[in-house]
Every structure is written in structure tokens, then in C-alpha cells.
Structure 1
Amino acid sequence: MLKSLKDLFDSLLPATPQADPRAAEHALQLATAVMLVEVMRADASFHAGEREAVLAALRDKFALGGDEAQRLAELAETTAQQATDLFAFTSRINERFEMPQKLLMIEHMWRVAYADGHLADHERHVLWRIADLLHVPQGAYVHARMRAQAATNEQGARGQA
């Protein structure tokens, strides 16, 4: 009887992406894109630089072309609006990313947060929450923030020159 109950519950669950490697990769890309979009959405005001930072992160992280990154970002925005929590996304990232990949993702998220020239409290909170769900150590989290802030300052200085 327990086996038949388990079979029933298993049949109600969506198919796992592990069965298809391409589906697993797409699910990972979407999960990562949703995290980047969550930072962009955390700020009350929209800034085009934030969207460009999301697209740059997706191109860098997954070697996507401009159109692919744009479509992924649009899907991530829709998915983020419908999501009730972040765990489904962070658990997929935890399954597939090693710590260096997570740190690069956190750094990209900080770049999104800094893209409009200021850091909102809610952006900081979202970043802290995601880093915690990804099991990123506090020191590494702070270093990722410092690297992103330095890169943003450097880009700003080049833009003014």
C-alpha cells in the first residue's frame, strides 16, 4: 500500500530534468536568471543598467548570444513574478554549481544591484537571503560584493573619461 501511495505521489510530480541533460541545463540557466532578476526587481525603481547587467551576467555565465540571453531574461522575469519562494531555484543551483560558480553568480548579482548607482536596502536583503540559501560563507559573500563594487566603480570612471 505504501508503494502505491508513493507511485501516486510520484506520478503527480513534474518530470525531473535529470532525465534529459539539456532540460537540466535549461532549468539551471532559468534558476540562475531568476536569481539575477530578483535583484533587479528588488529595487523600487527600474534602471536600464540593471537589465543590461542581468544580460551581461547571462552571456558571461552561460556563453549565450544576445538574443538567447534576452529570451532567458524575459522568461526569468515572468517566472520570478509567479514564484512563491526562492528555494526551488536555489536548490537547483546548489545541486549543479560548485562554490566558485556560486561566488561568480553572487558577484554578478551584486553588479546588478550596483548598476543603477546605488544599493537599496531591499536589494541587499535579497542578496543576503540568496547567498544564505546557496550556503555561501559570509567572507566570500563580502569579497564578491567588494569585487562587484570595484568593477562598477571602474566602469563608471571609464564612462566619465
Structure 2
Amino acid sequence: MFERFLSFLKEIPGGSGRSTGDDDPRVAAAALLYHVMNVDGVRQDAEWERFKAVLGENYGVSGTELDELAKAGEQADREAVDFYAFTSVLKRHLDPDGRKAFIGLMWEIVFADGELHELEDNTVWRVAELLDVERQDRISERRKVAASLPDPAKIPDEE
């Protein structure tokens, strides 16, 4: 399932890493991931590195292309008034399994610093709702990512 999501992301038109406009799912994904990374007001190096790694791994970009995609996501997030513009693009381009996998990527960014802030949790919840990802799937992705952490005891398992 996750492999299908990764291959889909790499096959998206405009795979060069450059934005193709408002309907570019790569930029929409980067914007949401950037937002969840910064929502608690503190961007730690571990979060930034995980953000860039997730973009690089999922879109097959590196170097200048990766920097351009990260910058496009940051700019799109700063200009956005809500999440709908991004989630509507992702809903058009991703099947239900792909949307669930994307929520897993958001949790990876959230837990990159080993902590969970309530604003991060709320952001993932809101994005999941807009993507029509079921509550149990959102929680399942959260638990899966948290369990892979070096110290999962630091992350509360409660919703």
C-alpha cells in the first residue's frame, strides 16, 4: 500500500520538482507538512531534516529540486488561509490508502523532535478530516509512527 503511494508521488506530472501551479499535489503536500512542522512555533533541526527527507524520499528529488519544493511548500503555507486548498488537491490525486499514508507522513514530521504538541495533534486531526481519513486510521498511523521512535514512551497514546 505505502509503496503504491510512493510510486504515485514519483509519477506525478511535473516530477522535476518545479511547481505546476495551484493543482500540484507535491506543493500541496509540502505545504501541509511544512505547516505541521511549524505549528507549535518552534522549528527544530530534527523536524527540518525529517521534512526534507520525507520530501526527498517521496518525490525522488534532491539538491536544488528538493530545495525548490521545500521553498514552494513554505511559500504556499504562508499564503494560505486554510487547509482546504491543499487537501482538495490531495483528495483529487490520492486514493483512500494514499491519503491515509499521507497522514502517516504528517505524523513522521510531528514526531521528528520526539514530542507531541497539542497544536500538531490538532493540525493532523483537521487535515485527516478534510482528507476523509477515518479516525481509527489516523490513530493507527499515529501509533505506527510513535512505535518506531527511539523513546515511544514520551509520546502519549491517547487521543
TM-based fold match above 0.5: yes
Provide the residue aligned with 2:39 in structure 1: 42
- The residue correspondences of 1:45-124 to structure 2 (distance < 5 A) are 45-124=42-121
- What is the CA distance between 1:151 and its match in structure 2? 2.2
Query: Is the counterpart of residue 135 in structure 1 residue 132 in structure 2?
Result: yes
The residue identity in structure 2 corresponding to 1:103 is K
CA distance in structure 2 between the aligned counterparts of 1:152 and 1:55, rounded to whole angstroms = 18
> Would the aligned equivalents of 1:43 and 1:123 in 2 still touch at CA under 8 Å?
yes
Query: Is the counterpart of residue 149 in structure 1 residue 146 in structure 2?
Result: yes
The residue identity in structure 1 corresponding to 2:88 is S
Structure 1 residue matching 2:133: 3-state secondary structure: coil
The 1:89/1:128 distance shift into structure 2, 3 A limit, reads same
Q: Where do 4+ consecutive residues of structure 1 move more than 2 Å?
A: 21-26, 151-155
The residue identity in structure 1 corresponding to 2:91 is N
> Would the aligned equivalents of 1:37 and 1:80 in 2 still touch at CA under 8 Å?
yes
- What is the CA distance between 1:26 and its match in structure 2? 7.2
Identity %: 28
Unaligned runs of 5+ in 2: 1-12, 15-19, 153-159
- What is the CA distance between 1:154 and its match in structure 2? 7.2
Unaligned runs of 5+ in 1: 1-20, 156-161
**CA-based RMSD:** 2.0
The 1:154/1:57 distance shift into structure 2, 3 A limit, reads farther
CA distance in structure 2 between the aligned counterparts of 1:94 and 1:113, rounded to whole angstroms = 21
> Would the aligned equivalents of 2:114 and 2:151 in 1 still touch at CA under 8 Å?
no
Q: What TM-score, normalized by structure 1, do the two folds share?
A: 0.77
User: What's the CA shift string for 1:48-75, capped at 9, x where partnerless?
Assistant: 1111111121122222224322221112
- What is the CA distance between 1:25 and its match in structure 2? 10
Deviates most, 81-90 or 51-60: 51-60
